[in-house]
Amino acid sequence: MIIEGIILIFLIIGTSFNTLGVLGLLRFPDLYTRMHATTKATTFGSIFTSLSVVVYGLWLFFDSRDSQFMILAIHAFIAMLALAFTNAVGSHAIARAGHRMGIKPSPAVCDRLEEFHP
């Protein structure tokens, strides 16, 4: 009962972060702020969703001693680590490419890269 509650809390947190990422994508004015909102929110959302799968797999493994549930937990943990690294690297590459293509930030945002790469 407690484990099911923990899994449900992780799923609710993950879904909430993913929803906030979608709202940020729809509401923010330019590429950089949209990308910041979606990257941060979906990274946390994916981590919490994957964490719920890890807890679920470990719970079923310790309940039944069936190795397939441990494999599920390990795969979800590896996916969680991969998402944490690739989301950050991917968003940095997209932001850098956008800046090099000349996509300017919203006027309310200070562009520090403009000083180094005019």
**For residue 105, what pLDDT is reported?**
79
**Hunting for tokens 């990257």 — which residue is that?**
39
**For residue 103, what pLDDT is reported?**
82
Q: What domain range is 27 assigned to?
A: 2-116
Q: If you average pLDDT over each of 26-40, 60-74, 87-101, which comes out highest?
A: 60-74
pLDDT in tens, 17-51: 999 999 999 998 888 888 989 999 989 999 999 99
Task: Read off the pLDDT band of 99 (50, 70, 90).
Answer: confident
Q: If you average pLDDT over each of 14-18, 30-34, 88-92, 100-104, which comes out highest?
A: 14-18
Q: How many domains does the chain have?
A: 1
**For residue 100, what pLDDT is reported?**
86
CATH number at residue 18: 1.10.287
